[in-house]
Homo-oligomer: A and B are copies of this chain.
């Protein structure tokens, strides 16, 4: 275990550097979103990339207190009000493949689809068609398409329009748009969701697939902290959920 190696941050008695940049320079000249790109990609973003990542982070920050991550954070806060980090961490623990994690899976789909396309000289659209074929044959759901609440996710168009206006749109967006169109024809209308749009945009910025979850978590922490702060301010400790129906073996009377 010892010593550890890192290429992220180092410091001496009076300086801290991240990816080689003095933190003090970054504090003067960069935005937090720049810092996220620097930490993860080792370079600062272009202005267009910065705007796009800002939009992604805003888009996933909060969607209502009833989402698993927010509700988990509030319940943990309710039992353990003295520990802010416990409640935020509990909220993050609800993030996974079923909630907030589809972006990573979708980025893998994009990377695989476009990788195969590059080897075989296909367009992104042809690659997407092949991906839908595979999903239909294997009866597998396609990540990034479909939504429980929204018929049309309003955030998708905003992201893609912005990506085009800023010159960031690339094969990832082309692939996901073709995927949505193919799925509509071959399966049923499954409008792209924020995970799919986030995946396309992050792919086109050069992020690797795990970043789908990392970026979702970074954005959602802004919302989780606000939800926990509101729980402390507005609610009494110790929420108990009373509408639980017991349907197990009957209680033994003694």
Contacts and interface: CB of A to CB of B under 8 A. Distances in A.
Which of A5, A30, A57, A89 is most buried by chain B, counting CB atoms within 10 A of its CB?
A89
A164 B27 CA distance: 15
Contacts of A87: 93
A31 to B, nearest CB: 5
A219 B83 CA distance: 18
B78 A86 contact: no
6 contacts: A5-B244, A8-B227, A8-B230, A18-B62, A80-B95, A83-B93
Interface residues of A, number: 126
A86 B96 contact: yes
Contacts of A250: 20
Contact of A27 (B159, B217, B243): B159
Interface of A: 1-11, 13-28, 30-33, 35-36, 39-40, 42, 53-55, 57-59, 61-69, 71-72, 74-76, 78-90, 92-101, 104, 148-152, 154-155, 158-159, 162, 208, 210-211, 213-214, 217-219, 221-223, 225-230, 232, 234, 237-252, 254
Given A15-B154, A244-B66, A247-B5, A96 B71 contact: no
Contact of A249 (B7, B83, B90, B243): B7
Contact of A58 (B32, B76, B97): B32
Contacts of A241: 1-2, 4, 65-66, 71
Contact of A54 (B24, B32, B97, B244): B32
A76 B94 contact: yes
Contact of A222 (B2, B36, B230, B245): B36
